[in-house]
Amino acid sequence: MYDLIEFVYSTIFFMDRNRQSLRQDVTEDFARNFASVKMIDGSITPMSDEEQAREIEMAMQGPFSKVNFQLHIALELLADRDQPNYRDSTKNSVSAVESLYKHIVGDRKATLEEALKKMDATAMPIHPSLKDAFGKFYAYAGDVARHGLMGSDNLDVKGARHMLVTCSAFIDYLVVKAGKAGIQL
């Protein structure tokens, strides 16, 4: 049933207003039946918290297409009911944050760690404690998703979902902060 809903939603002949209506109907039906899934960006995703779903949707509507694309891929990998790929979902979630930081500091080749160090030179410096938290988060994600260390084989839907939601929140924060600082994204 979920595959059919996703197919109908993604069909090119399905007009935008019909997509909105379908999404609304599906969302209401899931809520009425206490389903532990949400429809986000056309994918039915294992998530029961409406606030988390909204956070991901907001981040995916940001002004930077590369970030939106990476979040979309992370969501698809998480939502795949046949062969979910939690490791690559996590990798794409973190890469979306990294892409936005690179764009803000104007260095496409920088790692997130390097971009964090360059943030003070931008119009939107970040508090040192928050910068440290972002850096540690990145290191953790690198260990479990990128480098295959420290039990990454145990990465499950909850861990991958947490990474996607947290990265989406980071992205939303940075987009708002950049807007207030007058940085064009």
pLDDT per position as a tens digit, 106-150: 888 988 888 888 888 888 888 889 888 888 888 887 777 665 555
Specify if 104 maps to a domain.
yes
Is 45 inside any structural domain? no
Q: Which two tokens stand for residue 11?
A: 């069909």
Q: 67 and 155, same structural domain?
A: yes
pLDDT tens-digit readout, 54-73: 889 899 988 889 999 999 99
Average pLDDT for the chain: 84
Task: Kindly state whether residues 149 and 111 are assigned to the same domain.
Answer: yes
The whole-angstrom separation of Cα 167 and Cα 185 is 17
For the residues 24-48, what does the mean pLDDT come to?
80
pLDDT surpasses 50 at 152: no
Share of the chain above pLDDT 90, in %: 24
In this structure, is residue 169 part of a structural domain? yes
The reply to whether 158 falls in a domain is yes
Q: Are residues 111 and 152 in the same domain?
A: yes
Domain ranges, residue 10: 1-35
Please indicate, yes or no, whether residues 72 and 151 belong to a single structural domain of this protein. Answer: yes
Phi, psi of 174 (to 5 degrees): -65, -40
Torsion of CA 56, 167, 11, 37, to 10 degrees: -60
- Give the residue, 2 or 69, on which the prediction is more confident: 69
- Asked whether 162 and 169 are in contact (CB, 8 A), the reply is no
Continuous H helices in 61-156: 65-79, 86-105, 112-118, 128-141
Q: Do 13 and 61 lie in a common domain?
A: no
* Shared-domain flag, residues 76 and 153: yes
Rg (CA), the chain: 17
Within a domain: residue 62?
yes
Same domain? For 65 and 88 the reply is yes
Same-domain check for residues 11 and 70: no
Instruction: Say yes or no: 61 and 98 in one domain.
Output: yes
What is the rounded CA–CA span in Å between residue 178 and residue 184?
Answer: 7
Q: Does 112 reside within a domain? A: yes
44 in a structural domain = no
**In the Cβ-directed half-sphere of 10, how many Cα atoms lie within 13 Å?**
13
Domain count, the chain: 2
Q: Which two tokens stand for residue 72?
A: 């979309």
DSSP string, 48-60: --HHHHHHHHHHH
